[in-house]
Chain A
Amino acid sequence: MRWRRRDTARARLPRGEGPWAWLSAGSVALSLLLLALLLGLLLSRGLGHFWPGDVALVTLEDGRQLAGRAVREEPLPDGSGRERLYRTGNRDLDGAIWDWVALAAIHEVSYPRELLVLERRRWGEFIGRLVALEPEAGPRLEGEAAWSALEARLVALEARREAIRRLREQTIRPLVRRLEREGESAEVTRALAAAEARIGALRASLGGASLVLESVSGQHSIEPLEEVVRARRPNAMSNLDKLAAWGQGVWRFLSEGQRAANTAGGVWPAIFGTVLMVMLMSLLVTPFGVLAAVYLNEVAHQGRLTRLVRIGVRNLAGVPSIVYGVFGLGVFVYGIGGHLDSWFFEASLPSPTFGTGGLLWASLTLALLTLPVVIVATEEGLARIPHRQREGALALGATRLEMLTRVVLPMAMPAMLTGVILAVARAAGEVAPLMLVGVAKLAPQVPVDGDFPFLHLERKFMHLGYHIFDAAFHGGDVQAALPLIYATALLLVLVILMLNLTAIFLRHHLRSRHGTLSSY
Chain B
Amino acid sequence: MPVMREARPARGAFIDFEPEATSLEIRGFGLRYGDKPALNDLTLRVPRHRVTAFIGPSGCGKSTLLRALNRLHDLNEEVVQQGEIRLEGRDIHAPEVAVAELRRRVGMVFQAPNPFPMSIYDNVAFGLRLQGGLSKRRRDDIVEWALRSAALWDEVKDRLRASAWSLSGGQQQRLVIARTLAVGPEVLLLDEPASALDPISTLKVEELIRNLKASLTLVLVTHNMQQAARVSDYTAFLHNGELVEYAPTDTLFTNPRLARTENYITGRMA
Interface residues of A (CB under 8 A from B): 301, 386, 388-389, 391-399, 402, 406-407, 410-411, 513-515, 517-518, 520
Contacts and interface: CB of A to CB of B under 8 A. Distances in A.
A392 B107 CA distance: 10
B118 A514 contact: yes
B183 A388 contact: no
Contacts of B13: none
B112 A396 contact: no
A297 to B, nearest CB: 14
Given A392-B114, A392-B176, A402-B130, A397 B101 contact: yes
Chain B interface bracket (under 10, 10 to 19, 20 to 34, 35 or more): 20 to 34
A393 B114 CA distance: 9
24 contacts: A301-B77, A391-B72, A391-B114, A392-B116, A392-B176, A394-B72, A394-B75, A394-B103, A395-B72, A395-B108, A395-B110, A396-B104, A396-B107, A397-B130, A397-B183, A398-B126, A398-B127, A402-B130, A406-B130, A407-B116, A514-B163, A514-B164, A518-B165, A520-B113
Contacts of A518: 165
Nearest to A389: B114
B166 A389 contact: no
B179 A388 contact: no
B130 A515 contact: no
Contacts of B119: 514
Interface string B229-247: 0000000000000000000
Interface of B: 70, 72, 75, 77, 100-101, 103-104, 107-108, 110-119, 126-127, 130-131, 163-166, 169, 176, 179-180, 183, 196
Contacts of B179: 396
A137 to B, nearest CB: 76
A397 B164 CA distance: 20
Contact of B112 (A388, A411, A513): A388
Contacts of B165: 514-515, 518
Contacts, number: 76
B243 to A, nearest CB: 24
B77 to A, nearest CB: 7
Contacts of A397: 100-101, 103-104, 127, 130-131, 183
Given A396-B104, A396-B179, 5 more contacts: A395-B110, A396-B107, A396-B183, A514-B165, A515-B165
Contact of B126 (A393, A399, A411): A393
Contacts of B118: 514
B190 to A, nearest CB: 11
Contacts of B183: 396-397
B103 A410 contact: no
B214 to A, nearest CB: 22
A518 B164 CA distance: 11
A513 B166 CA distance: 11
Given A391-B110, A514-B165, A518-B165, A396 B127 contact: yes
Given A386-B114, A396-B107, A406 B126 contact: yes
Nearest to B119: A514
A518 B196 CA distance: 13
Given A402-B130, A407-B116, A411-B117, A392 B110 contact: yes
A508 to B, nearest CB: 15
A392 to B, nearest CB: 4
A370 to B, nearest CB: 27
A64 to B, nearest CB: 77
B107 A395 contact: yes
A-B pairs, top 6 by smallest CB distance, nearest first, are: A397-B104, A514-B117, A396-B127, A395-B108, A388-B114, A392-B114
